[in-house]
Homo-oligomer: A and B are copies of this chain.
């Protein structure tokens, strides 16, 4: 039964829960075979996918960035299919033994990875999320319930129809909820007992809405107010390279840097130097009082309190002069979204202090924050970058799409 059929959210969730028990029993070979057929099916039906995508593109007026996020092309379909093949090639974490012990009373206790069960994904316009998350969920023996954006309705319906149609996939393994009202989101995020985890993927407002209103556990992803601290002992050419890369290489993503902190000792030399380079790279620069004083003659507008909290997600950066590494750490622990923060320094003791004391998912010494990514970390496809501390933190992939179970084998032991 594919997603286009009329069916209530509750029915779909119940089907997903039933499917989860069957998916958990599929072997690695079975799951990989289905994934490879899915990849082929996407390529075989690329014309249908493009037609559905055109229907979405024509049905509403979109800003250019939104249109680009929604747009599918032959190349993007090939990339999606390639992504599915990559997931087939990942190691299967399910039923991996994590620990094993025999207790003095003879009980044998084994901790194994098991699927989470039903994963709910709430997301916005990118149709590739539909395919990526369906592939990752299948690889890990989970059922998935998708609640995409209404602007991608036809694209998502077509993609789920193609993926769900693959022989061997249990009915209910991939369910697509009605995206025309908010009710389906509400039903999904409060479906305790039917859904095991929610992963919102999208902008801050979406993630915050889900986290605030869900009664199902959530893995929060993606909010990135990332910092770079240039210490007094930094190699300044290295600092230039890292700051410009982290800010400008892809400013819309969550691991792009948003804030620059400069040690007071080098501020007089370094602040005007880097501000000039940022402006030359098309970056709007905001600054604290000291930064503005040191950047006299350059276009630096005042940074307000709100600036230190904000994730710009565009070519904008706020710069602040700090008195010490301790001040830098305190600023970051106060304002950071705990995603990715970096120090540039040649002083190892300060670097170690920064790595240890900055309470973020990924903390860098002498590298760009842009590396916070499942692929760059060597995990293969990633499900997201968690900015919470429970279950998954930082880039996470298949291992974090599992739970665990204890299997205990005895010979009639009872408790005394």
A residues touching B (Cβ–Cβ < 8 Å)? 21, 24-25, 95, 101, 103, 107, 109, 114, 116-117, 192, 196-197, 211-212, 215, 217-219, 235, 238, 241-242, 245-246, 249-250, 333, 351, 355-357, 359-368, 370-372, 376-378, 388-391, 393-395, 403-415
Contacts and interface: CB of A to CB of B under 8 A. Distances in A.
A394 B405 contact: yes
B389 A393 contact: no
A389 B403 contact: yes
Contact of A413 (B355, B363, B367, B407): B367
B356 A389 contact: no
A197 B389 contact: yes
Nearest to A211: B215
A368 B241 contact: no
A412 B235 contact: yes
A331 B249 CA distance: 55
B24 A415 contact: no
A389 B117 contact: yes
Contact of A107 (B333, B356, B371): B371
Contacts of A101: 378
Contacts of A250: 415
A117 B412 contact: no
Contacts of A376: 103, 107, 415
Contact of A390 (B212, B249, B403, B414): B403
A49 to B, nearest CB: 30
B405 A362 contact: yes
Given A245-B415, A363-B405, 10 more contacts: A21-B357, A197-B389, A217-B389, A246-B414, A249-B414, A361-B406, A365-B408, A367-B410, A367-B414, A368-B415
A278 to B, nearest CB: 15
Contacts of A212: 192, 215
B109 A377 contact: yes
Contacts of A25: 356-357
A412 B242 contact: yes
27 contacts: A21-B357, A21-B359, A107-B376, A116-B390, A117-B359, A196-B389, A196-B390, A197-B389, A197-B390, A217-B390, A245-B414, A249-B414, A249-B415, A355-B407, A360-B405, A362-B406, A362-B408, A363-B408, A366-B411, A366-B412, A366-B413, A367-B409, A367-B414, A371-B410, A371-B413, A372-B406, A393-B403
B412 A241 contact: yes
B388 A217 contact: yes
Nearest to A111: B394
Given A21-B333, A211-B192, A378-B101, A366 B410 contact: yes
A78 B290 CA distance: 59
A196 to B, nearest CB: 5
A195 to B, nearest CB: 11
Nearest to A244: B414
Nearest to A237: B412
A357 B212 CA distance: 33
A405 B377 contact: no
Contacts of A409: 351, 355, 364-367
Contacts of A246: 414
Contacts of A404: 393-394
A393 B367 contact: no
A242 B413 CA distance: 7
Contact of A370 (B242, B368, B415): B415
Nearest to A114: B359
B378 A103 contact: yes
A239 B126 CA distance: 55
Contacts of A370: 414-415
B368 A413 contact: yes
A243 B413 CA distance: 11
Contacts of A371: 107, 408, 410, 413, 415
